[in-house]
Structure 1
Amino acid sequence: MQDSSETSDRHTASTLTVGLIPAPEFPEQLVSLIIDELADHLCREVDDTCQWQLDRVTDPLIGAEDSTRDILSKAHELSRSRQWDYIICITDLPVFRDRQVVVAEVCEARSVAIISQPALGASPLRRRLAESIVQLVSELHHGSSEAERDRQQTRHFSKRRSFLDWWRRHNARGLMRQRLSERIAPIKRVNVEDDEQDIDVRFVAARRVPGLCKLLGGMVRANRPWTIFPTFRKIIAVAFATGAYGLIFPTLWRLSDAYEPWRFAALMVAAMTAMIGWIILDHGLWEPQRHPRAFPMARLYNLTTLITLGMGVVFYYVSLLGLFLGAVALFVPSSLLQTALGHEIAIVDYLSLAWLATSVATVAGALGAGLESDETVRATTYGYRQKARQKRARELAEEAEKHQKRQ
């Protein structure tokens, strides 16, 4: 726990500085979106007798270490050089304690708190992250004991001036406001004693399965599936060229006329599954599950990769379908199609032909996935980014060690 004199000095200071240490990429982007508004939130929600300043340093180590103790130590070392009063680390690593999904942790002795960004879910991330930071600063500033939380709750209600002001506030023991997602996957605040990680308070998912689903959604969001589509440019070119060539043959026309809806659907699912599978195998995206300790995290990374690629491939399929609808309407005359099929032509016949052509072309596109570089495709997956960051962290540690030896 904090020394009482140290806490008193901080509370009487006119200006308090909160240092934010996000991991690179997505956490860094989120922090840049909310940092300008945090000072007002801290003044209103935590302590309006102080002036609040925010500082930010992006550190790859925060996103490379899976040990809370290591993160706490590195954050504390960084804060001493910058004279921060409180430190909030935002990592994009999933954190587990006794099979529970951890959302945030507080260490009062070092004035450091940690937020696991994926555990916040997929949306609305900006507001969830801002509310979480404010709550954790409150824990560090006022204390985490039950008595301090009672006093802080009283302060919340005593400052209430309107219904809107009350609605904006959340419980002094809650990490964030209660939304539908928090009701389905509630977050529980736990006071920790005799913890090996030097943690005083931990916010965990109260229900394991909803908490894991929320974590998975946050990991997929961090992958930003919409950024995968540009990597499919060459694949779309190969697929469209293959499908367009097939449209000149009446065999494809007759097949589209003879297929039942379930055949179209089955072929579509098979084509998309083949494409996802080939991308994973060709670019080595599957995380090996070599030993029991690595299994839970590897399974999460693999499931995240499947969902991310699935969303990207669905978007790719819809885009390709739109291209083939235009190609069928432009290149296949209705009179010729009617002669080949032997009956009157309706819009559904063009739709069926475009749907079949898209599925056939997707199979060819799967083979064309090998045209993309490994780096381009792997950058969209969670496990690869973490490996690259861990490698960078090791390099930085080795450089620091060599520098110390020279001195």
Structure 2
Amino acid sequence: MLDSSSQALRVLLVADPGLPSRRVTSIRDDFESLLQRAYSVQTTLRTRTNALRLTPDQELDLDAVTELREDYDDTDILLVLTEIPRHTQGDPLVAEIHADSNLAIVSCPTLGAWATKKRLLKVLMSSINRLVPWDPANDSHKYLLNWSHWSTRDDQDHQTLHAHTFTGGPRMLLGMTIANDPWRTVPKLSGALAAASATGAFGIFYSSIWQMSTFLSTARLVSIGLAAIIVMVGWLIISHKLWDKPVTEGLATVIMYYNLSTVLTLLITVVALYATLVALILLGGVVVIDPEFMTQQIQSEASFANYLDIAWLSAAMGVVAGGIGASFDSDFDVRSLTHGQRMRQRVYAEQQDEDDRIDDT
């Protein structure tokens, strides 16, 4: 247990794989230097990547968290940065302190989609400051929180830091979406892209598509594209069973965030897929379709806008006719796609461990 006479501070920072681990890597050196300056004692910061487990009722398994100390006997403070979205007392939970075990847990999604290093350092430093017996140096007060306050309920050893009532929800939703890595999801739909490209390519060779795209208004073309995107998002959710249902009433709010982040993640992914398809068809159209021949077919002077209209309508046709029925390239891609999928794996891992222990007895 730390006391004011201690001459050293040993911190273990454990992060979930993925975005939390990448953020820890980006701040590690700055965080260690800041700890050294703040408390003027010999500081050791060790980092570790480890997937945290959930209990069957979707709560963070604190027993499994504290077990992480076993490989580091001399650890004074255990910090945990998790991708698990946490919501208590009606607001997103940014962090919580368990002073009796020198443990601080920070939820990465509640920091937002574009959490700066400074914001993450502030939360980590504020958490550390609730656990150490020393006051921070004057020049370190700038790293303490000024946009939210810690609260203590019945147990003085348990303190919580909640996000703002109005901005916390949207910030957590965006944080969950970015944690799903939507940009990295696009290559996992290469099969769908190939099928959609093959179907959309017909638009390059059929003059009836040229005439229709010329006749339709911009508003109607945009509406067709949006409808194609929505249909494909809906298909991916239904075909891969990505819509979660709360097992208990207490989980309804968190599951709502799971589902909203899934929709937003897939929306970003499919929009990127659609844009890629438009670019490919546009390039093919410019190469294949002679402007004079197009002018004869559409009975007006061909322009770049006509090529773009053809690509847009053909891409919509490709997404609906070719992309529907296609899926992710592997089951692993689906299992790691959304928060709901990854959270279920954490529970399954815990249940599997229990089954293994029963088999061994």
**TM-score (norm: length of structure 2):** 0.91
Q: How does 1:377-396 map to 2 (within 5 A)?
A: 377-396=334-353
User: 1:331, CA displacement in angstroms?
Assistant: 1.3
Cα distance change of structure 1 residues 67 and 356 upon mapping to structure 2, 3 Å threshold = closer
Work out whether 1:275 is the aligned partner of 2:232. Answer: yes
Write the distance in 2 (CA, Å) between the matches of 1:215 and 1:270.
27
Work out whether 1:57 is the aligned partner of 2:14. Answer: no
Match of residue 200 from structure 1:
158
Corresponding residue to 2:244 among 287, 299, 303: 287
What is the DSSP-based 3-state SS (H/G/I as helix, E as strand, rest coil) of the residue aligned with 1:140?
coil
AA at the equivalent of 2:126? Q
AA at the equivalent of 2:69? S
Match of residue 103 from structure 1:
94
Work out whether 1:211 is the aligned partner of 2:211. Answer: no
AA at the equivalent of 2:158? D
Task: Report if the CA contact (8 A) 2:16-2:82 is conserved.
Answer: yes
User: 1:214, CA displacement in angstroms?
Assistant: 0.5
Task: Report if the CA contact (8 A) 2:121-2:143 is conserved.
Answer: no
Match of residue 194 from structure 2:
237
Corresponding residue to 2:21 among 25, 28, 32: 28
> What runs of 5+ residues in structure 1 fail to find an aligned partner?
1-5, 144-150, 161-167, 179-185
Higher helix share: 1
What is the CA deviation profile of residues 206-228 of structure 1, one whole-angstrom value per residue up to 9, with x for unaligned ones? 32x31000111110111111111
Task: Report if the CA contact (8 A) 1:231-1:377 is conserved.
Answer: no
Cα distance change of structure 1 residues 202 and 321 upon mapping to structure 2, 3 Å threshold = same
Match of residue 183 from structure 1:
none
User: 1:76, CA displacement in angstroms?
Assistant: 3.5
Deviates further, 349-358 or 27-36: 27-36
User: 1:398, CA displacement in angstroms?
Assistant: 4.1
Corresponding residue to 1:79 among 69, 76, 95: 69
Write the distance in 2 (CA, Å) between the matches of 1:290 and 1:399.
25
Write the distance in 2 (CA, Å) between the matches of 1:15 and 1:291.
45
AA at the equivalent of 1:55? R
User: 1:193, CA displacement in angstroms?
Assistant: 3.3
Match of residue 181 from structure 1:
none
Match of residue 290 from structure 2:
333
User: 1:352, CA displacement in angstroms?
Assistant: 1.3
Task: Report if the CA contact (8 A) 1:95-1:101 is conserved.
Answer: yes
Work out whether 1:90 is the aligned partner of 2:81. Answer: yes
Q: Which has the higher contact order (CA 8 A, sep 6+)?
A: 2
What is the DSSP-based 3-state SS (H/G/I as helix, E as strand, rest coil) of the residue aligned with 1:94?
coil
Cα distance change of structure 1 residues 112 and 401 upon mapping to structure 2, 3 Å threshold = farther
Corresponding residue to 1:115 among 87, 106, 117: 106
Write the distance in 1 (CA, Å) between the matches of 2:116 and 2:356.
35
AA at the equivalent of 1:192? T
What is the DSSP-based 3-state SS (H/G/I as helix, E as strand, rest coil) of the residue aligned with 2:101?
coil
Write the distance in 2 (CA, Å) between the matches of 1:23 and 1:290.
24
CA RMSD of aligned residues (A): 2.4
Match of residue 306 from structure 1:
263
Match of residue 42 from structure 1:
35
> What runs of 5+ residues in structure 2 fail to find an aligned partner?
none
Cα distance change of structure 1 residues 36 and 402 upon mapping to structure 2, 3 Å threshold = farther
Write the distance in 2 (CA, Å) between the matches of 1:246 and 1:40.
59
User: 1:262, CA displacement in angstroms?
Assistant: 1.1
Deviates further, 98-107 or 19-28: 19-28
**TM-score (norm: length of structure 1):** 0.81
Write the distance in 2 (CA, Å) between the matches of 1:133 and 1:397.
33
User: 1:84, CA displacement in angstroms?
Assistant: 0.8
Task: Report if the CA contact (8 A) 2:189-2:327 is conserved.
Answer: no
Write the distance in 2 (CA, Å) between the matches of 1:342 and 1:67.
65
